[in-house]
Amino acid sequence: MSGRVANCPSCGAPVKFLWSSAVQTTCEFCRSILVRHDVDLTKVGEVADLPRDGSPIQIGTEGTHRNKDFLVTGRIIYEYDDGSWNEWHLIFTDGSSGWLSDAQLEYAVSYLFTTPVKLAPEESLSPESRFEWDGAVYQVTSITKANYAGVQGELPFEYWDKIKVRFVDLRTVDARFATIDYSENPPLVFLGEAIEFEDLKLKNLREFEGWPK
């Protein structure tokens, strides 16, 4: 379905898919949130006004991580006490997917940890809590309570009816990181690493007034 065009069931506008396995997308014209069932689209909600942000990343941005090229196909936006951040959905040329966290000029790439794990309830965790995943020991560093602020573009799952979300961040001694998403049941674990903006080799970035051409 890559590159395929369907019609928005709300306004009839063309909806072009960048990624063949997208489960959810948004209509650029009427801002409907659309869920795909095979080749049919169903409207499940509407995108509220998205918060302003100064990120140079946008849907359609391309880059590289671990010598694999990727395309940005969508994002989830969160707000919390210290501001907001984007979780950009990435599709790699080998068909795998990942996430690019974009928060106040700090960037990290993570991947869903698919090995089944048993997790303690969020309220039982403390800074001394540790987990061992994929041969590394991760220790809790922070627990963030955030507000879901919106979605844009294509995602690998339905994600449109959230209000409050809870994330637990963890680190290893060699600077790797993990995030537990307690807004899902069962919770999801993502493993990743911080990365410098320049190392992502991004292109097709969003342009701002005053930037050099």
Using the predicted structure, report yes or no on whether residue 8 has a pLDDT greater than 60: yes
CA proximity to 75, closest of 150, 3, 173, 131? 150
* Residue that is written with structure tokens 């960048």 in the block: 18
Distance CA 187, CA 158 (A): 15
Predicted local confidence at residue 162, as pLDDT: 82
| Over residues 176-199, mean pLDDT | 92
Confidence class for position 52, pLDDT limits 50, 70, 90: confident
pLDDT of residue 2: 41
Put simply, whether the predicted model's pTM sits higher than 0.95 gets the answer no
Residues 87-100 pLDDT 10s? 999 999 999 999 99
* Residues 145-174, mean pLDDT to the nearest whole number: 90
pLDDT at 39 over 70: no
Query: What is the tens place of the pLDDT at every residue in 127-151?
Result: 889 999 999 999 999 999 999 999 9
Q: Residue 74: its pLDDT value, please?
A: 96
For residue 211, is pLDDT > 60? no
Query: Does residue 170 contact residue 179 with C-beta atoms inside 8 Å?
Result: yes
Q: Extract the tokens encoding 9.
A: 């069931």
**Is 212 a residue whose pLDDT tops 60?**
no
Q: How far, in whole angstroms, is CA 182 from its chain's centroid?
A: 15
pLDDT confidence bin for 209, thresholds 50/70/90: low
| pLDDT single digits (tens) 15-28 | 988 888 899 999 99
